[in-house]
Amino acid sequence: MLIGIDTSRALRAKRTGTERYSLEIIQHLLLLPAAAQHQWRLYVDVAPPEQLFPTHTPGAAQPNVEICHLPARRLWTHMALAREVVQRKPDLLFIPAHVLPLVLPSGRLPPSVVTVHDLGYHYFPEAHARLQRRYLQISTRWNAHAATQLIAVSQATANDLRRFYGTAPAKIQVVHEAGMSDLPDDLVVTDIRRRDNLPRPYALFVGTLQPRKNLVRLIQAYAQLSQIGAIGWDLVLAGSADRLQQALSSLINELGLAGRIHLLGYVADADLPTLYAGATFFCFPSLFEGFGLPVLEAQRYGVPVMTANNSSLPEIAGDAAILVDPLDIDAIADAMLRLSQDEMLRQKLITAGYANVKRFSWEKAARETLAVLEAAAKKSFR
């Protein structure tokens, strides 16, 4: 079987959650011994770095991975990719982090599988610009309608597909993501803290700085603790700037917390493990998550976690985190105080976190994804 994959999102210079998922799932699919049974065509809009993707899979008698370079242009998905998959159809098309191409009635898409990461725009429409929100609504509805099979990264996302689009349960398969696997050594952690000017212990948040991440309440909770002199640690916010960047900077200055709350901006994947490993605890009181990958990553590096009690977060965090109402600033502050002072609680959560992350791996996700791809192809050819 020839499987085509939209690989464009995996090649973004600055990867957030969906782009990192795309890269990890493609790489691990190609590493599966069972992948040798298939031919793979990776559609890219820029030339990938050498060795990023192998030219053959384990056990393949000859090269079975083709890079199909469709030069970047406006509306790449709906023009360049659409034309390619209609004119030179793969047996199956996999879209791990974007949208199925729209095609004219005269064309016809091959059987397809699309990964849906979240439907957060239904819960927090104000977090998106009007045109972006409209695009998300149209593209997700199109994915739900046109795809042969859907992969949801959490049961919460699967439930939302059924709720908002009436998608049949049989059309959805839940395949969980996983986290990073490289562990840093103490010297690198020390170097990272020196580089980012973090002389004091710190609590950490990782994620895009956008309204639904609930950073205003997190900062307000930190300010509460600062006012009563209950903290000897800083708060580090690591993530790409969004429209909220200036507002957060202004709030931090108004509260007199400049120098104690650090906005690091985007942190490269290579530096994230050391940033996690150096944290005293991890704060993720998000208002909505389709998966919540940073929670798993913090647990992977032995960092106790506080997160929200909504959406997919309890599903992913398991019993290895303090769950709080993200709208309750007092609850957020109390959880941070406990994680900074209660060593028995910290050790309990660290141990539980190590156990929890064993439920997730990219190899497992790749095996389950390949099973979905194969089943979708068989379903289409009946």
Predicted confidence (pLDDT) per residue in 21-73, tens digit: 999 999 999 999 999 999 999 999 998 888 888 888 888 778 899 999 998 78
Which residues does 145 contact at the CB level (< 8 Å), separation at least 6? 165
CA distances to 121, 126, 213, 215 from 133, in Å: 7, 9, 17, 21
Q: Tell me the fold of 2-178+361-380.
A: Rossmann fold (3.40.50)
d(CA 200, CA 47): 42
> How many helices (H) does the chain have, and how many strands (E)?
14, 13
* Radius of gyration in angstroms for the set of CA atoms belonging to the chain, rounded to a whole number: 22
Whole-number Å distance between alpha carbons of 110 and 380: 9
If pLDDT is split at 50, 70 and 90, which confidence band does 316 have?
Answer: very high
d(C-alpha 325, C-alpha 329), whole Å:
8
* Confidence at 181, pLDDT banded by 50, 70, 90: low
| pLDDT-above-90 percentage for the chain | 67
pLDDT tens for residues 237-274?
Answer: 999 876 777 889 999 999 999 989 999 988 888 888 88
Q: Can you give the pLDDT at residue 107?
A: 62
- The domain segmentation of the chain, as residue ranges, is 2-178+361-380, 186-357
Q: What mean pLDDT, rounded, does the chain reach?
A: 90
Average of per-residue pLDDT across 132-152: 90
Query: Whose CA is closest to 165, among 229, 224, 121, 132?
Result: 121
Q: Do the first three CATH levels of 2-178+361-380 and 186-357 match, i.e. the same topology?
A: yes
The DSSP result for 62-88, as a single string, is S--EEEEE----TTTIIIIIHHHHHHS
375 — pLDDT class (breaks 50, 70, 90): very high
Across 6-15, 220-229, 367-376, the highest mean pLDDT is recorded for: 367-376
What pTM, to 2 d.p., does this model score?
A: 0.89
The predicted pLDDT at position 106 comes to 52
The CATH superfamily holding the domain 186-357 is Glycogen Phosphorylase B; (3.40.50.2000)
Q: Residue 6 forms beta bridges with which residues?
A: 43
